[in-house]
Amino acid sequence: MRKTLVIYLVCEPETPALAAAAVEAGADVIELGFPFSDPLADGPVIQRASERALGRGMRTARCLECLEATRALLGETPIVPMTYAALLEAYGWERFAADAEARGATSLIVSDVPAGLRPELRRIHLVAPTSTDERLRLAAGTTDGWLYLV
């Protein structure tokens, strides 16, 4: 089994350069957090980073620009935006998926949408130690790339 180093960065103006430095230092995948005003699945550090980013004007359109700028610096390194369903609901599910892919996203993580919902979206599924065998099979059979254990 190959180990993979995944680095999480909240989208901000400095993020593309930080992502490039992380890849240069050995990161295999970059997760780009699209800040959300009520990030219930995130801990206090990411919550504060999201608040800061939102305070700096990092809304969805600017985060997509950040994704595009990050892609320009990273070549083929996988970049996975991570966000919440409410952001996609407001922006438009299919529109977000298309815009993210056009700007260089490798896949998506939507932390509050379980496997089985929105099957049209190519995304990485989250599972927990408490997930049932049935839920694990569903997530494993439809995930894009890997399962994210939370």
Length of the chain, in residues:
150
Catalytic sites, residue numbers:
31, 42
**What is the number of other CB atoms lying within 10 angstroms of the CB of residue 96?**
23
The secondary structure of residue 124, as a DSSP letter, is: P
Q: Are 32 and 15 in contact (CB under 8 A)?
A: yes
Amino acid at 41: A
Determine which helix (DSSP H) or strand (DSSP E) holds 21, and give its type and residue range.
Answer: helix 15-24
DSSP letter assigned to residue 77: S
